[in-house]
Amino acid sequence: MVFVEIIIMAVIAVPILVLAVYFLAGKGVSLIAGINTMSDEKRETYDEKALCRAVGKLLIAIAAALLLFPVSIRLEAMWLFWIAMVLSMVLPIGFVIYANTGNRYRKPLPELEATDEAGESTEKTGDNGDELSFTSDVMARGKKVGVVIGVLLGVAVIVGTGALFIVGEREPNIIISPDSVQISAMYGTQIPLSNITEVTLDNRSMSEIGIGTRTNGYGGFATLRGHFRSAQVGSKLLFVTATSSPTIRIDRDVGTPVFISFRDESRTVYEYRIISEAFRGS
């Protein structure tokens, strides 16, 4: 499964990296929305190579953030997953703010000489009246340039959401150690065997037992991960496929009960036996 996730992210990240290299070479300005529609005169007032290189660096950072998703899944490190999620969304936003403030990526203003009625040079006004007009043009172009960054942001959000879906839909992995039961999944937890008071197998699905409302968790296509609360059970920690039965229930002397089920009924029964044996042998 992890291999598939790596392939998915690579298919997305590799084209971004190729495009980044193209931009870093100072090329590809025609791919930036707004620039390719400017007149030659206006384009001359904009530092196109500097803008291209900046976009190239942004694309490399976004690609690196995307590749962190499969790494976090492989290492089963949710903290790394959330770092990747935040980076994939914050980087484009930060660049938009950076690029559209301080008149960045513009060439130095030309010093224009004003003349009096006699045609004699009097003073330089490049930093006065002409600057207002120039700045307005730059700001207008900056907004257009923001369009392509907005598209990148949209892609990053979609990819981030897809990564969240991939991680959330993964079935839990149960790891038994001499002193604990570890549930490896989104919102996963480790339960000391000394903390378990009872392990039962309920023939009903979680939907029949009572899902309730999500207080802090993930809910996908019948996949429930995290903290829920219902009138039937109260607070509980779910790692279930809501429509699958039977369902494992682990009661603890400290903490909410934990429910586990898999899409495959036989695997649920198998994991129940393993957990029960570990609990009885503790």
What single string gives the DSSP state of each residue in 103-155? TTTBPPPP-PEEE-TTS-EEEE-TTTHHHHHHHHHHHHHHHHHHHHHHHHHHH
Indicate whether 178 and 210 sit together in one domain: yes
* 225 beta partners: 218, 239
Average pLDDT of every residue of the chain: 76
pLDDT value of position 46:
64
Indicate whether 196 and 161 sit together in one domain: no
At 126, is the pLDDT very low, low, confident or very high (cuts 50, 70, 90)? very low
Please count the residues of the chain.
282
83-92, 150-159, 214-223, 265-274: lowest mean pLDDT where?
Answer: 150-159
Chain CA centroid to CA 136, Å: 35
Token digits of residue 168: 């959330």
Indicate whether 64 and 136 sit together in one domain: yes
Question: Cβ–Cβ contacts within 10 Å for residue 98, how many?
Answer: 13
Nearest to 239 by CA among 162, 157, 173: 173
Work out the angle between the directed axes of helices 48-75 and 2-24 (0-180°, nearest 10).
170
The Cα 245–Cα 143 span in angstroms is: 54
Answer yes or no: is pLDDT of 198 > 90.
yes
* 182 beta partners: 175, 190
Pairing mode, strands 258-260 and 234-241: parallel
Indicate whether 92 and 210 sit together in one domain: no
Boundaries of domain holding 246: 173-281
Indicate whether 155 and 76 sit together in one domain: yes
pLDDT digits (tens, 9 = 90+) for 128-165: 444 444 444 444 444 444 555 555 556 666 666 666 67
Tell me the H-state helices in the chain. 2-24, 40-43, 48-75, 78-99, 129-169, 206-209, 265-281
Domain final residue pick, 139, 169, 199: 169
The single-letter DSSP state of residue 172 is P
Indicate whether 7 and 143 sit together in one domain: yes
- Average of pLDDT values for 45-64? 82
At 78, is the pLDDT very low, low, confident or very high (cuts 50, 70, 90)? low
Q: Which residues contact 196 (CB under 8 A, 6 or more apart)?
A: 181, 250, 251, 252, 279, 282
At 16, is the pLDDT very low, low, confident or very high (cuts 50, 70, 90)? confident
At 110, is the pLDDT very low, low, confident or very high (cuts 50, 70, 90)? low
pLDDT value of position 121:
44
Which of 8-12, 90-94, 274-278 is the most confident on average? 274-278
Nearest to 67 by CA among 25, 125, 6: 6
- Average of pLDDT values for 215-243? 89
Indicate whether 208 and 134 sit together in one domain: no
Work out the angle between the directed axes of helices 2-24 and 129-169 (0-180°, nearest 10).
160
Identify the CATH number of the domain in which residue 264 sits. Answer: 2.30.29
HSE-CB for 228 with a 13 A CA cutoff: 26
Indicate whether 63 and 137 sit together in one domain: yes
Indicate whether 129 and 196 sit together in one domain: no
User: 235 or 98, which is more confident?
Assistant: 235
Answer yes or no: is pLDDT of 271 > 80.
yes
- Average of pLDDT values for 204-210? 95
pLDDT value of position 3:
52
Question: Cβ–Cβ contacts within 10 Å for residue 237, how many?
Answer: 24
Indicate whether 243 and 106 sit together in one domain: no
pLDDT digits (tens, 9 = 90+) for 243-263: 999 999 999 998 899 999 999
